[in-house]
Amino acid sequence: MKRLRRTKIVATLGPASNTPEMVENLHRLGADVFRINMSHLDRGQLAAQVAMIREVEARVHRSITVLVDLQGPKLRLGRFANGAAELEQGAHFTLDDNDAPGDASRVHLPHPEILSALEPGHTILIDDGKLRLEVEEVAPGHRAKAVVRVGGKVSDRKGVSLPDTTLPLAAMTDKDRADLEAAIEIGVDWIALSFVQRPEDIAEVKKVARGRAQVLAKLEKPQALARLDEIMDVSDAIMVARGDLGVEMPLEKVPGLQKRITRNARRAGKPVIVATQMLESMITAPVPTRAEVSDVATAVYEGADAVMLSAESAAGQYPQEAVAQMNRIAEEVERDNLYWTIIKAQQAEPEATGSDAIAAAANGIAATLGISTIAAWTFSGATALRLARERPDSTILALTPKREAARRINLAWGIHAVVTRDASDVDDMTFRACKFAVRSGLARVGERIIVIAGVPFGTPGATNMIRIAFITEEHAAAA
């Protein structure tokens, strides 16, 4: 199944897409990665969902990536005496550790760590930013007195966001740790971590994962952006979680941050997903708004590895139409000459490593000779990811003996992953690269491909060879 685009599509599973038939339809329409959101899934159902995806994978004969998104801490208010209260602008309001029902003057905040971390001048956002409070005084006995800057109705258990406050909270709750262990045991490919504030949050997950799954940092808090480079260094991939960013930061700052994060991730060679509200109106409508189409196109023009659907595919009325629409947008953008002008203008200098030198050289040769496929023999997937960092105007055919590696790198830009036994010698390497290029519909008889690999074969991290090969009738017959 040859994709006509390099940008990947992530589709979230949910009630609207919870059958093998729907998963297969979404994959054939363009979904490369399926996200399982543990905020809305019982742990007992996780194994069944992953098994369903693996069943589809076996049927379509192509690697499909499974991403499990951990819920993270949920900060919420307590309850009100009448179920709700009206907070007037300019009024004073107290958050405290008293579990008595609240009213228009106070409410219980069942998170003592928040009350300990708040300082005068800090902003408190309630109900996705609909109400905004400013802390005036932090009083003894775990009480924060605030003034209402933006008022309105607030009801039981509404969420709390703290853009100015670094919380002494781990990114993983007890639920997340149990979900993480279950996901790794089942064999998922990627773990997405919410509520990231510091690189240590990612390191904690990686310590548990021990290489059995890759770890993706969701950037949704201002505290994470202050330590972006450190978080990017320790993460395997990045998600621009624009929904939460747009709550905790001024909305007008989010587009610029999206560009900055996307470019930094590409420079680091880490896959980056742009997420949240991309085709939001398609939850209830069969076609998106023009602004949404432009939003998806912008992410593709920026060089994002993947764009993501959330409620559109999980709970919307038109999950198939949403995936098909996103697929068409990405294909159209990548046909635009301006797309390649932008992509090449963002080209990062190769790092001083053998893998980067080979990747850059392969990209240059492909551009000079007009070669449409670069076949990379890779054990861990690292070689294919370094090639993806170059953003070649060629499909990256990643050949790996590890099915886990194929599934993981399937998230990255431009990679078509195939699982096969490792090459035994140079002739075998070349022959089977040509065979799989034909079988995958990436090359035809008479065309050339570039083959890169590491000698001795089977040695991770030893990429050191480039070869130009011609596709012959023998390769086509073997395919």
151 and 50 co-located in one domain: no
- Of the candidates 47, 36, 105, 98, the one whose C-alpha atom is nearest the C-alpha of residue 71 is 36
Q: How far is CA 361 from the centre of its chain?
A: 28
Distance CA(442)–CA(410), nearest Å, equals 16
Tell me which of 222-236, 402-416, 445-459 is least confident.
445-459
| Reported pTM | 0.94
Claim to verify: residue 453 and residue 328 sit in the same structural domain = no
Count of domains observed in the chain? 3
Q: Is the pLDDT of residue 461 over 80?
A: no
Q: Identify the helix (H) or strand (E) that includes residue 232.
A: helix 228-234
- The DSSP code sequence of 439-451 is HTTS--TT-EEEE
Cα 286 from chain centroid (whole Å): 25
The pair of three-digit structure tokens given for residue 456, joined into one six-digit string? 């001795």
Classify residue 344: in a domain, yes or no. Answer: no
Does residue 218 carry a catalytic annotation?
Answer: yes
Assigned domain for 251 exists: yes
| Domain annotation covers residue 308 | yes
From the list 218, 266, 270, 408, the catalytic residue is 218
Residues 360, 473 within the same domain: yes
DSSP 249: S
Give domain status of residue 120, yes or no. yes
User: Could you report the per-residue pLDDT of 88-131, keeping only the tens digit for each?
Assistant: 999 999 999 999 999 999 999 999 989 999 999 999 999 999 99
Catalytic residue of the set 28, 54, 76, 328: 76
340, pLDDT greater than 80: yes
What is the reported pLDDT for 272?
98
Same domain, 151 and 133: yes
| Residue 53 counted as domain residue | yes
Whether 236 is covered by a domain: the verdict is yes
Name the residue with tokens 């329409």.
29
Active-site annotation holds for 289: no
Is pLDDT at 460 greater than 90 in this prediction?
no
DSSP alpha helix (H) spans, 249-395? 254-268, 290-301, 311-314, 319-335, 337-345, 354-369, 382-390
Q: How far is CA 58 from CA 32, 62, 64, 246, 376, in A?
A: 14, 7, 9, 39, 23
Decide which of 145, 161, 177 is a domain's last residue. Answer: 161
204: pLDDT strictly greater than 80: yes
DSSP bridge pairs for 377: 399
Which pLDDT band, with edges at 50, 70 and 90, does 386 fall under?
very high
Task: Look at the block and give the residue holding tokens 């697929």.
Answer: 327
**Residue 223 to residue 247: CA distance in whole angstroms:** 13
| 391 within some domain | yes
Residues 142 and 186 in one domain: no
Q: Are the C-beta atoms of residues 345 and 422 closer than 8 Å to each other?
A: no
Residue 354 in this model has a pLDDT that exceeds 90: no
Is residue 179 domain-shared with residue 317, that is, in the same domain?
yes
β-strands 160-161, 123-126: how paired?
antiparallel
Collapsed DSSP state (helix, strand, coil) of residue 51:
helix
- State the DSSP H helix or E strand holding residue 308, giving kind and residue range, or none if neither: strand 306-309
Listed residues 144, 161, 178: the one ending a domain: 161
Q: Please, are residues 68 and 188 in contact by the beta-carbon 8 Å criterion?
A: yes
Q: Which of 262, 276, 430, 463 is catalytic?
A: 276
If asked whether residues 119 and 198 sit together in one domain, one would say no
What is residue 134's three-state secondary structure? Answer: strand
Domain-embedded: residue 342: no
Query: Same domain for 34 and 113?
Result: no
Q: Are residues 257 and 233 in the same domain?
A: yes
Give 1's pLDDT tier (boundaries 50, 70, 90).
low
* Sheet hosting strand 448-454, strand order edge to edge: 415-419, 395-400, 373-377, 448-454, 463-470
**Whether the bond into 110 is cis, omega within 30 of 0:** no
The CATH code of the domain that includes 21 is 3.20.20.60
Assess whether 93 and 183 both reside in one domain: no
Least confident among 1-5, 150-154, 327-331, 444-448: 1-5
Could you tell me the residue range of the domain that residue 367 belongs to? 354-478
Amino acid letter for position 283: I
**Mean model confidence pLDDT for the chain:** 95
- Model confidence over 413-451: pLDDT tens digits? 999 999 999 988 999 999 999 999 999 999 999 999 999
Looking at 287, 304, 335, which one is the last position of a domain?
A: 335
Report whether 257 contacts 242 (CB < 8 A): no
Q: Exactly one of 8, 35, 408, 435 is catalytic; name it.
A: 35
Same domain, yes or no: 119 and 238: no
